Structure 1
Amino acid sequence: MVLENYIAYFKDLKTESINKKELNIYNAYINLFTDLKLRILSTEDLALIENKIELLDLADTTSRKDLNKKLQELLKFLETNFGLIPEKHYETSYMGIGMCFGMLANLVFGVVSLVIGLVIGMCIGLFIGSQKDKKAKEDGLVLDYKSPYSF
């Protein structure tokens, strides 16, 4: 019931706002809560999620910055406790790791250009991350959530 109330709450906020960044945050919450509502979760898991949402006290938060911070906290909670991740989660994580390893390899092996090491590392990271994302999607662990800052 908590999820439905917050979906209605953010839909109401969405009708009152014209700021594009605020609308993106509201849409992110609506999509996330709708996804959670449609998932087949045990009563205990659903109660745990709803308890966390209530503890975040989203209705008393008005600033976009605070809403985004609480959204990130909720996503971290879902990942830690249930293994649920946003789309392209591993891809973005492994891309950064791959770039670091590419830069390290460049320094150790003395590749012609730093850019080449970064690009090769990034490509390897993207490949590994996309494979992990594909596996997570097959396992049903990817949330139907779009970051308010993605394009």
Structure 2
Amino acid sequence: MEILELTDKPDIKRNVRLRKRFIYFRRLLNEVKKKNIPEDISARINERIEEINLFAGSNKELQRIVNKSLYFIVKLLERKLKIVPRSFYRTRWLIMGMILIGIPLGAIIGYVMGKMVYLGLGIPSGLIIGLFIGNQLDKKALEENRQLDIDVEF
């Protein structure tokens, strides 16, 4: 199934943020078209595109729908096909490294040293570990041709 095109809205030229989101959305759709996407996933993407194309409300509401649709499409591709934008895993693991690795590591160091002031040492350590893990996963996705040639922007 062919992925639909996003139609221009007359008011987006005046709204810089909305225009940037539309440009990003089109770039994402062009990258998705280059991949071999199953029909059921193409149909779900087309539903979101039709919703945007038929929308007749305010620019603020349109921007909210475009952002939700972008997030939905990226999550759908990641969950179902393991196809991700560039730096997707790096961004995700940067945060997870700080939260899941850094804070517990800092708490352990603080407990062992007897001063919880060392809690702050764990967060940068978790950040570095998270960046390393994320970069490795991004590299693996690129090698397996599961990466879109577009940066993640949410």
Q: What TM-score, normalized to structure 2?
A: 0.79
Contact 2:109 2:118 in 1 (8 A): no
Give the unaligned 5+ runs of structure 2: none
Give the unaligned 5+ runs of structure 1: none
2:30 alignment partner in structure 1: 34
How far did 1:14 drift?
Answer: 8.3
Corresponding residue to 1:124 among 110, 126, 129: 129
1:51 matched to 2:43? The reply is: yes
1:22 alignment partner in structure 2: 18
Contact 1:28 1:147 in 2 (8 A): no
Larger proportion of strand? 2
1:87 alignment partner in structure 2: 86
How far did 1:59 drift?
Answer: 1.2
1:60 matched to 2:54? The reply is: yes
Q: Which amino acid aligns with 2:52?
A: L
Distance in 2 between residues matched to 1:81 and 1:97, nearest whole Å: 21
Contact 1:99 1:119 in 2 (8 A): yes
Which region of structure 1 is more displaced relative to structure 2, 118-127 or 74-83?
A: 74-83
Give the share of equivalent positions with the same residue, in percent. 27
Contact 2:90 2:138 in 1 (8 A): yes
Distance in 2 between residues matched to 1:13 and 1:90, nearest whole Å: 33
Corresponding residue to 1:143 among 127, 130, 148: 148
How far did 1:15 drift?
Answer: 8.8
Paired residue secondary structure (1:21): helix
How far did 1:127 drift?
Answer: 0.7
1:103 alignment partner in structure 2: 103
Paired residue secondary structure (1:6): coil
Distance in 2 between residues matched to 1:29 and 1:143, nearest whole Å: 13
Q: Which amino acid aligns with 2:130?
A: G
Contact 2:12 2:18 in 1 (8 A): no
Distance in 2 between residues matched to 1:14 and 1:95, nearest whole Å: 39
Which region of structure 1 is more displaced relative to structure 2, 16-25 or 63-72?
A: 16-25
Paired residue secondary structure (2:140): helix
Paired residue secondary structure (2:20): helix
